[in-house]
Amino acid sequence: MSSMVRRWSYRSLVARTRLYREGKLVLEDFPVDDISEHLKDEGACVWLDYCDPTAAELATIVAEFQLHPLAVEDAISERQRPKLDRYDSHLFLSAYAVKLDTESGELRTHEIGAFITTHALVTVRKDEDVPIDSVVARWDESIELATYGVSFLLWGLLDDLVDGHFEAVQSLDSEIESLEDLLFDDAPRNTEVQRRSFEFRKSLVLLRRVVLPMREVVNSLMRRDLHVLDEGMAPYYQDVYDHVLRATEWTESLRDLVSTILETNLTIQGNRMNLVMKKVTSWAAIIAVPTAITGFYGQNIPFPGFAAHWGFWFSTALIVVLSGGLYRSFRRRDWL
């Protein structure tokens, strides 16, 4: 008995299951081995979720769903490109969930694969950070669409992933706006601006690799010849496609904006350096006046006013008048 409890506990951590029949959720967290019996009912629709499975664990469903070996390999392997592959008995989807760390500006990606068959959706997560609970919540909120079977399940998955992409773009936009304020801060913060700019630029490049291929993925799913999309779900897939386009365009514009911030920061640094050099040069010219006069009067040869009190006062007055004249001239030209 204890061994059965341990095996079920382990299995529940690795796999989650749901059974829909005639648009209603009728069973949840049933054993994976029971899927064959449930699929005998033409009106049934099954969702099976694996978290970081091994090849041996996936082998239990390969024969049941007639999964292609290349698709199984892609589901286990990491760093797949977002794509939709078509096989004789099923489709294979590869996509990413993303989340932005606002403190560091780093974009974290979490890979997920999905086998799409006529009556089942099998999701394969590479780690536990993929927000599958939010996908389940989305299904429960739109349970009236469950009559569309796999089309409904796949829409909930894609809609949640694309919304995550959109949220990441929005967060990046807000962070970049705050970065713009640092550009014209009274206290120069060049190092922070450069560091965060490069981090945001790296995150945007990564986000672009995730978001851009999703246009092709969703567009391919909407094709009638794949016979995956139910006509009743077409408006919902179109809405997802519109969100993908907005996220893609927004990502592209933010990349240009970050490049502009970097260029502006370099320009501001150059202007500040020119201003500093202008002030230093102006003060150097003013200081050169007393240096020249005192140097001249420091010669050990007779000259007008030599060894006389009026000579000292004359040289002092000359220093004050010339230095003051240079100072007023530089101030008038905005050099000081």
| pLDDT beyond 60 at 12 | no
- Work out the pLDDT band at 266, boundaries 50, 70, 90: confident
- Residue 11 is predicted with a pLDDT of 40
- The pTM of this model reads 0.75
Q: Please compute the mean of the pLDDT values over residues 251-270 and round it to a whole number.
A: 80
| pLDDT beyond 60 at 70 | yes
Instruction: Kindly list the domain boundaries of the chain, sorted by start residue.
Output: 2-269, 277-332
Name the residue with higher pLDDT: 113 or 41. 113
Task: Please give the full DSSP string across 58-84, using - where no structure is assigned.
Answer: HHHHHHHHT--HHHHHHHHSSSPPSEE
- Work out the pLDDT band at 14, boundaries 50, 70, 90: low
How far apart are the C-alpha atoms of 322 and 311, rounded to whole Å?
16
- Work out the pLDDT band at 19, boundaries 50, 70, 90: very high
Strand partners, 98: 109
Share above pLDDT 70 across residues of the chain, in percent, rounded to a whole number:
88
Q: What is the DSSP letter of 93?
A: E
Q: Please compute the mean of the pLDDT values over residues 146-163 and round it to a whole number.
A: 93
At the topology level, CATH places domain 2-269 in: Beta Polymerase; domain 2 (3.30.460)
Share above pLDDT 90 across residues of the chain, in percent, rounded to a whole number:
33
- Residue 256 is predicted with a pLDDT of 84
Average pLDDT across the chain, whole number: 83
How far apart are the C-alpha atoms of 96 and 129, rounded to whole Å?
11
Structure tokens that stand for 178 in this block: 């705050």
Lowest mean pLDDT among 152-156, 232-236, 297-301, 314-318: 297-301
Tell the residue number behind the tokens 């050169």, with chain if given.
Answer: 288
Strands (DSSP E) contained in the chain are 15-21, 24-28, 44-51, 83-86, 91-101, 106-116, 120-125
Q: Please compute the mean of the pLDDT values over residues 238-261 and round it to a whole number.
A: 88
- Residue 301 is predicted with a pLDDT of 57
- Residue 186 is predicted with a pLDDT of 66
| pLDDT beyond 60 at 82 | yes
| pLDDT beyond 80 at 228 | no
| pLDDT beyond 80 at 295 | no
Contact 91, 104 (CB under 8 A): no
| pLDDT beyond 90 at 64 | no
Name the residue with higher pLDDT: 180 or 13. 180
How far apart are the C-alpha atoms of 148 and 40, rounded to whole Å?
18
